[in-house]
């Protein structure tokens, strides 16, 4: 497609990329290298020595000054009529570009290619070889070759952009980088069916179709071009030029999934910390592909892991700066869409960003991106070593921040008016679908966090507060079962046997005993590391669930008795029950009966103690009332009692020895009283 256009351009006047001699050329046999000096094979001796870097060029003033404004101005500024030497230190393109420019001045045909055109174009601009000095000067020639030949070819655009890495800022100022980037972006976004492949960056041992080997697509439409056909070529570019290409591709409207895949491919090639987990090899381009030019897959969902670099293999400061710049640039060009790149790739990038001390603002932005798709992460991705001053083995604080970003993102999506555009039944269905997906995401994150807690709980330096905060970060509705939390708690208790009773109770508060399964309850009932109160709660909740299950089954059997026959005997039911469940049920029932007996014994002892306490209280109140009476009143009571007793004794004595007169008087009184 594009090569045919370049061929037609060459037919119009460039031939095979050779510039024809000019009319003011000097007859010469060419240039000859003698040691570190270039000499022109002419009959006229040279009268000017031009030193570029450490190479000398023996040239003629008349030809050089007639085409270069820079050389003319240097000779004029020197004020030396017999000037014989000019030193150039900062020529873009170096000695190779100056040699081509000198050959052009002498009319020697030049073989312009994608490898030398950018350097020659910048050198021509530096030497000011414009149309003011001669028509068809070097600037015009090189500019025409760039516009009509290079930019119409995919492979030439890639190679020219690659060659511009050592030509800054000249290549930028001359718009070579921008034009090549736009050309590459336009071709990458074009219909791939018309593309003739050219994997310029692929190793030579990998067999793949070449651009010039496939002049026309295979007829009949049997030849299919993969959507990632341009990844390999673009990945050979330096990071700043790669950013320019990706930015131009975004402007052209390419899908964000393909852009994200290209970014992951580039990171796999240039960041040594990202390796393929399956084969464990390095991060060359071959590790990012399966070796087939027609179909290449990029699976970043858990297939990568962070490799801790051997301390012996120290990284130089220059390499650290380069990798830091690559990571910062990749973060800045990530598409804003949620699923443009995988969560595993983002976590790998985040881990390396922490190691290389990337700018905090970019790290925070990357953490937010991870939080957007945190439910896609795996446990292996979250086990990021702690590179800060923390004593913990893994970076628990980082996972805590990622979880907070995920929860904030969930709240933002719940409160966003995304369903307001719908009406009636559609709005209800959309809201239900969104709520269901959010709940599923939270449940996946809950399982992930529980697995992470189980893994990091083995670290003896992990504080109880960090464990508890991370375990309680998610809402209760995110966990339908707390078996994962129970495993994490049990692992923490194993690794921290010196916890006090209060700390163990505090640790067990993170889980709900009513959400434990039968197997977890059986394990917890026999777990000596758990506090006794937690064991009682587990058994009590299991008993309630069993009673509810029996009641529900009874109601269901009573309702379905008209349609389903009841089992003939208990033996039939047991035969239909798995043996493991029967054994577990027997052990659980035995534990429940033992616990019931202990509870009844405790209740009886409690009643006895309560009765004894009431008896002691009554006795104490009686004694207290006696002590409250004063000693003075008690003395008077004793004295009155003694007086009354003496009077009664005297009366008794008198009654026992009465006189005769008294008897007579007494008798008469009685008689009178009786008569009256």
Q: Which of 29, 244, 37, 267 is CA-nearest to residue 157?
A: 244
8 A C-beta contact, residue 273 and residue 348: yes
- Mean pLDDT, residues 625-648 taken together: 59
Asked if pLDDT for residue 439 goes beyond 90, the answer is no
pLDDT class of 399 with cuts at 50, 70, 90: very high
Q: Supply the pLDDT for residue 634.
A: 55
Q: Supply the pLDDT for residue 411.
A: 83
Q: Supply the pLDDT for residue 46.
A: 86
pLDDT class of 567 with cuts at 50, 70, 90: very low
Q: Which of 490, 404, 400 is CA-nearest to residue 454?
A: 490
Q: Supply the pLDDT for residue 118.
A: 95
* CA separation for the pair 527, 507 (Å, rounded): 15
φ, ψ of residue 452 to 5 degrees: the values are -65, -40
Q: Which of 443, 522, 525 is CA-nearest to residue 484?
A: 443
Asked if pLDDT for residue 552 goes beyond 70, the answer is yes
Q: 492: buried, middle or exposed (CB in 10 Å: 19+, 13-18, 0-12)?
A: buried
Residue 279, number of CB atoms within 10 A of its CB:
8
- Mean pLDDT, residues 240-266 taken together: 94
Q: Supply the pLDDT for residue 366.
A: 95
Average pLDDT over the chain reads 76
- Mean pLDDT, residues 558-585 taken together: 50
pLDDT class of 446 with cuts at 50, 70, 90: very high
Q: Supply the pLDDT for residue 419.
A: 47
- Mean pLDDT, residues 190-218 taken together: 47
More confident of the two residues 563 and 493: 493
* CA separation for the pair 395, 480 (Å, rounded): 27
Q: Supply the pLDDT for residue 292.
A: 37
User: Which two three-digit tokens encode residue 327?
Assistant: 């990571």
112-149: pLDDT as tens digits: 999 999 999 999 999 999 999 888 999 999 999 999 99
8 A C-beta contact, residue 129 and residue 135: no
Q: Could you tell me which residues come within 8 angstroms of residue 192 by beta carbon, excluding any fewer than 6 positions away?
A: 225, 226, 227, 229
Q: Which of 20, 12, 91, 13 is CA-nearest to residue 57?
A: 91
- Mean pLDDT, residues 504-526 taken together: 87
Q: Is 15 left (phi over 0), alpha (psi -120 to 50) or beta?
A: left
pLDDT class of 438 with cuts at 50, 70, 90: confident
In three-state secondary structure terms, 669 is helix
- SS3 sequence, 49-111? EEEECCEEEEECHHHHHCCCHHHHHHHHHHCCCCCCEEEECCCCCHHHHHHHHHHHHCCCCEE
Q: Supply the pLDDT for residue 203.
A: 43
- Mean pLDDT, residues 94-105 taken together: 93
* CA separation for the pair 142, 124 (Å, rounded): 8
Helix (H), strand (E) at residue 306 = strand 304-306
More confident of the two residues 8 and 524: 524
Q: Which of 477, 591, 600, 489 is CA-nearest to residue 540?
A: 591
Lowest mean pLDDT among 33-37, 251-255, 521-525: 521-525
Asked if pLDDT for residue 28 goes beyond 80, the answer is no
């Amino acid at each position: 497609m594009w090569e045919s256009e370049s061929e037609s351009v060459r037919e119009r006047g460039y031939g095979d990329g050779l510039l024809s001699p000019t009319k003011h050329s000097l007859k010469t046999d060419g240039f000859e290298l003698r040691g570190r000096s270039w000499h022109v094979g002419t009959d006229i001796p040279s009268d000017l020595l031009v030193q570029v870097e450490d190479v000398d060029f023996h040239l003629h003033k008349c030809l050089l000054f007639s085409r270069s404004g820079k050389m003319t101005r240097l000779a004029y500024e020197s004020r030396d009529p017999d000037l014989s030497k000019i030193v150039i230190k900062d020529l873009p393109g170096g000695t190779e570009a100056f040699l081509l420019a000198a050959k052009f001045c002498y009319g020697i045909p030049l073989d312009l290619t994608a490898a030398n055109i950018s350097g020659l174009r910048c050198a021509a601009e530096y030497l000011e070889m414009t149309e003011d000095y001669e028509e068809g000067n070097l600037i015009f020639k090189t500019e025409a070759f760039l516009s009509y030949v290079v930019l119409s070819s995919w492979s030439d655009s890639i190679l020219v952009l690659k060659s511009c890495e050592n030509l800054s800022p000249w290549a930028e100022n001359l718009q070579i980088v921008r034009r090549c980037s736009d050309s590459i972006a336009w071709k990458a976004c074009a219909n791939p069916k018309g593309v003739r492949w050219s994997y310029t960056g692929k190793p030579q041992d990998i067999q793949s179709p070449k651009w010039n080997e496939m002049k026309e697509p295979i007829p009949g439409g049997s030849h299919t071009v993969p959507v990632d056909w341009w990844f390999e070529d673009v990945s050979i570019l330096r990071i700043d030029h790669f950013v320019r290409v990706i930015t131009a591709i975004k402007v052209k409207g390419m899908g964000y999934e393909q852009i994200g895949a290209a970014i992951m491919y580039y990171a796999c090639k240039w960041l040594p910390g990202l390796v393929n987990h399956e084969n464990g090899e390095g991060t060359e381009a071959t590790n990012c592909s399966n070796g087939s030019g027609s179909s290449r897959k990029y699976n970043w969902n858990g297939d990568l892991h962070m490799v801790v670099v051997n301390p012996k293999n120290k990284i130089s400061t220059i390499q650290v700066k380069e990798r830091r710049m690559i990571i910062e640039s990749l973060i800045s060009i990530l598409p804003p869409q949620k699923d443009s790149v995988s969560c595993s790739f983002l976590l790998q990038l985040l881990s390396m960003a922490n190691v290389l001390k990337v700018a905090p603002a970019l790290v925070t932005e990357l953490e937010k991106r991870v939080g957007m798709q945190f439910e896609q992460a795996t446990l292996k991705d979250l086990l990021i070593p702690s590179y800060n001053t923390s004593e913990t083995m893994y970076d628990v604080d980082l996972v805590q921040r990622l979880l907070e970003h995920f929860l904030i993102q969930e709240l933002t999506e719940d409160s966003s008016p995304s369903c307001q555009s719908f009406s009636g039944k559609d709005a209800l269905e959309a809201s239900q679908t969104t709520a269901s997906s959010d709940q599923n995401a939270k449940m996946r994150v809950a399982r992930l966090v529980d697995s992470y807690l189980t893994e990091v709980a083995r670290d003896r330096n992990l504080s109880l507060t960090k464990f508890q905060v991370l375990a309680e970060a998610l809402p209760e509705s995110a966990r339908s079962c707390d078996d994962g939390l129970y495993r994490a708690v049990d692992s923490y208790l194993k690794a921290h046997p010196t916890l006090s009773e209060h700390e163990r109770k505090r640790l067990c508060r993170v889980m709900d005993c009513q959400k434990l399964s039968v197997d977890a309850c059986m394990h917890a009932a026999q777990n000596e590391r758990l506090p006794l109160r937690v064991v009682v709660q587990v058994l009590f909740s299991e008993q309630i669930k069993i009673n509810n299950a029996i009641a529900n089954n009874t109601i269901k059997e009573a309702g379905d008795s008209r349609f389903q026959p009841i089992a003939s005997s208990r033996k039939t039911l047991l035969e239909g029950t798995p043996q493991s469940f029967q054994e577990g049920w027997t052990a659980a029932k035995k534990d429940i009966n033992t616990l019931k007996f202990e509870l009844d014994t405790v209740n009886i002892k409690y009643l006895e103690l309560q009765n004894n306490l009431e008896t002691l209280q009554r006795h104490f109140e009686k004694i207290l009332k006696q002590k409250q009476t004063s000693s003075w009143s008690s003395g008077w009571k004793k004295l009155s009692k003694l007086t009354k007793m003496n009077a009664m004794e005297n009366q008794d004595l008198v009654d026992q020895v009465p006189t005769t007169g008294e008897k007579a008087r007494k008798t008469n009184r009685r008689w009178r009283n009786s008569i009256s």
